[in-house]
Amino acid sequence: MNETSIRSQWTDFDWQLVHPGPLMPLRHMALDQVLLDEVAAGRRAPTLRIWEWAAPAVVIGIFQSLKNEVDAQAAQAHGIQVVRRISGGGAMFVEPGNTITYSIYAPLSLVEGMSFQDAYACMDDFVLQALGDLGIRAWYQPLNDITSEGGKIGGAAQARRGGAVLHHVTMAYDIDATKMLQVLRVGREKLSDKGTTSAAKRVDPLRSQTGLAREVVIQHMVDTFRRRNGLRDGALTPDEQAAAERLIGEKFGTEAWLAKVP
């Protein structure tokens, strides 16, 4: 499309794996911004981050209305914290151990000249391959879903900042669809062009499709990424940890951010 620009290859980069232990939801939100900024500034090599959740959460997209998307009473009754992330897209419901969540922080040159649609699919190609190896025929369903014959497996969201792109995915591993529908307000309008009227039926978790432990699926995803692109084990730096802590206080933990769209 843009023949004068130079698109980089996955193998051009020294990819780092960051997979710390369980973190609180607000910490995850803040880390997405910190790591995206660090990659944009060239202080951090392109990174794959695998998330582990220390507490249940509803994560809403940056443009979503808090009150339209979440049943605050139900969330509170279940002890579920509501947080807002920096990328667009829809609300997700997570409990420790029931999703597979990851982020890729990459230089924008990786998707140079691509349409948004191609950029989304490109970032998850390694996951489709990994799932295929595990016997799940999965494909990218535009705009931003990973799906299978059994139903939707996960959704992706991207955000761009400076010279970097964040690609964020949550896949259902063993989701409690009943509880999910109690806390998320999934309207009929949203499902109107999906060929189904039930959000619960849309989601088919990876556990039922693979019969494999969550850790096994994650390990296979990481191995697949490593084989294709190279991947070094890395860690969050103390500066990054401190920056995330600061952002929780200044932004992600504030009512102003959570209710940015009330």
Partner 1 sequence: MNDTTRNPRSGHGEYKIPGGKLVVVDLRVNEGRLKDVRLSGDFFLEPPEALDAINAALEGLPCGTDAGHLADAVRGALDADVQMFGLSPEGIAVVIQRALA
Interface residues toward partner 1, by CB under 8 A: 61-65, 68, 86-91, 116-117, 142-144, 157-160, 187, 189-193, 261-262
Question: What is the edge-to-edge ordering of all strands in the sheet holding 151-161?
Answer: 138-141, 145-148, 151-161, 164-172, 99-107, 47-51, 16-18, 232-233
Strand, helix or coil at 256?
helix
Strand, helix or coil at 64?
coil
Nearer to partner 1, 158 or 209 (CB): 158
Nearer to partner 1, 90 or 150 (CB): 90
Dist. CA 121–CA 230, nearest whole Å: 20
Residue 21: partners with Cβ closer than 8 Å, 6 or more residues away: 52
Closest distance of CB 164 from partner 1, Å: 12
Are 138 and 132 in contact by the 8 Å Cβ rule? The answer is yes
- In angstroms, what is the C-alpha Rg of the chain? 18
Closest distance of CB 203 from partner 1, Å: 15
Nearer to partner 1, 131 or 247 (CB): 247
Nearer to partner 1, 91 or 169 (CB): 91
Nearer to partner 1, 16 or 170 (CB): 170
Closest distance of CB 216 from partner 1, Å: 31
